[in-house]
Amino acid sequence: MLNFSDRLIDAIKKKNSVLVAGIDTTIENIPDYFIKKFYDNERSEIDNLKTILFEYNRRIIDAVEENVVGIKFQAAFFEQYSYHGFEVLHKLCEYAKNKKLVVIFDGKRNDISSSAKGYSNAYLGETPVFGKKMRFFEFDAITTNPYLGQDGIKPFVEDCERFKKGLFVLVKTSNPSSADIQDVVVEDKKLYEIVAEKVFEWGKNCRGKEGYSDIGAVVGATQPEAGKRIRHILPNSFLLVPGIGVQGGKVEDLKYFVDSNNMGIIVNSSRDIIYAYKNYVHSDFEKSSYLVSKSIKESINAAIS
Ligand SMILES: O=c1ccn([C@@H]2O[C@H](COP(=O)(O)O)[C@@H](O)[C@H]2O)c(=O)[nH]1
């Protein structure tokens, strides 16, 4: 099997898209007509929740697959429904994977090394069970928190090497308070620059045949200045860039995040795509999500070409 970065490059070329659709769906935001269609009074509330959450997101995936290179599943939106949500996440991950989409688990996980290994087993690798190895999820990549340093990251990096998976380490996030900690200056450098240097170190032995590392970084689209700096520190890493649209990140600024080949980024959009029906003339949510994802894909391509 190819390295994660090589698989990602192949998928980008095939789709002519660096857009990733984010699945951040809550039941409250699913259109009433869709809920009515699938809600069955004979079923339990939990069974209705699972059915409707799966059926809505499955249709979103079908609607956008032509325009996106992958799907990013935000853990929080499944965790809020406890293990019922995780059952749906499991099915959706498999569904997207069968469509040859790159699937990312956005869980921002990490801990001390023994616990980090548990996370990595779950989402990237295998979990030992009664002397056998069991694989529970088929994600291609995961987002991680760098705060615990190298021993927390190592289990993930080892599984990336072993199972040809990818990692996106939080370096500079898109939220308004990201400066509180990430911009703190330590010995003339901002903390996020030091984290980016660590990402370079952690990823320098995990390169695919195209020369890109399988260990990348999350950098918010709302942070073009940081994007420029981080690209300089990480010339051969993929940047996962969330924050366009609702959060205020501008597609035109993506030119600061790409590498010298105008490559090396994937760009996430969640709410603009999954709830496109709210802003669109089409009452049909699938058509709305299709049209919005097509338009975002085209505007990104124009901005980085
Ligand atoms: O810095 C970060 C890291 C992660 N995210 C996640 O991306 C999506 C963004 O959703 P939109 O609806 O497109 O704003 C969401 O899942 C965040 O948790 C981020 O926004 N910024």
- The SS3 call for residue 240 is strand
Provide the percentage of residues in the chain whose pLDDT is more than 90.
98
* 255-269 pLDDT per residue, tens: 999 999 999 999 999
- The SS3 call for residue 273 is helix
* 79-95 pLDDT per residue, tens: 999 999 999 999 999 99
Q: Tell me if 270 CB under 6 Å of ligand 1.
A: yes
Report whether pLDDT(282) > 80. Answer: no
Give the domain CATH number at 138. 3.20.20.70
Q: What pLDDT does 283 receive?
A: 73
What's the mean per-residue pLDDT of the chain? 97
Q: Containing domain of residue 154, as a range?
A: 4-304
Q: What pLDDT does 123 receive?
A: 98
Query: Which residue's entry shows tokens 């620059």?
Result: 193
CA of 246, closest atom in ligand 1 = 14
* 54-79 pLDDT per residue, tens: 999 999 999 999 999 999 999 999 99
Q: What pLDDT does 204 receive?
A: 95
Instruction: Report DSSP letters for 179-212, one per residue.
Output: HHHHT-EETTEEHHHHHHHHHHHHHTT-B-TTS-
Q: Whose CA is nearest to atom 10 of ligand 1?
A: 270
Provide the percentage of residues in the chain whose pLDDT is more than 70.
99
* 127-138 pLDDT per residue, tens: 999 999 999 999
**What is the count of structural domains for the chain?**
1
Q: Whose CA is nearest to atom 4 of ligand 1?
A: 242
Q: Tell me if 299 CB under 6 Å of ligand 1.
A: no
Q: What pLDDT does 280 receive?
A: 74
Q: How far is the CA of 155 from the centre of ligand 1 (A)?
A: 25
Report whether pLDDT(281) > 70. Answer: no
Mind telling me the catalytic residues? 108
Residue 268 phi/psi, 5-degree rounding, is -95, 140
* 159-199 pLDDT per residue, tens: 999 999 999 999 999 999 999 999 999 999 999 999 999 99
Q: How far is the CA of 220 from the centre of ligand 1 (A)?
A: 8
Q: What share of the chain is helix, strand, coil (3-state, %, to 5)?
A: 50, 20, 30
Q: How far is the CA of 140 from the centre of ligand 1 (A)?
A: 18
Reported ipTM: the value is 0.99
Q: How, if at all, do strands 19-23 and 141-144 pair?
A: unpaired
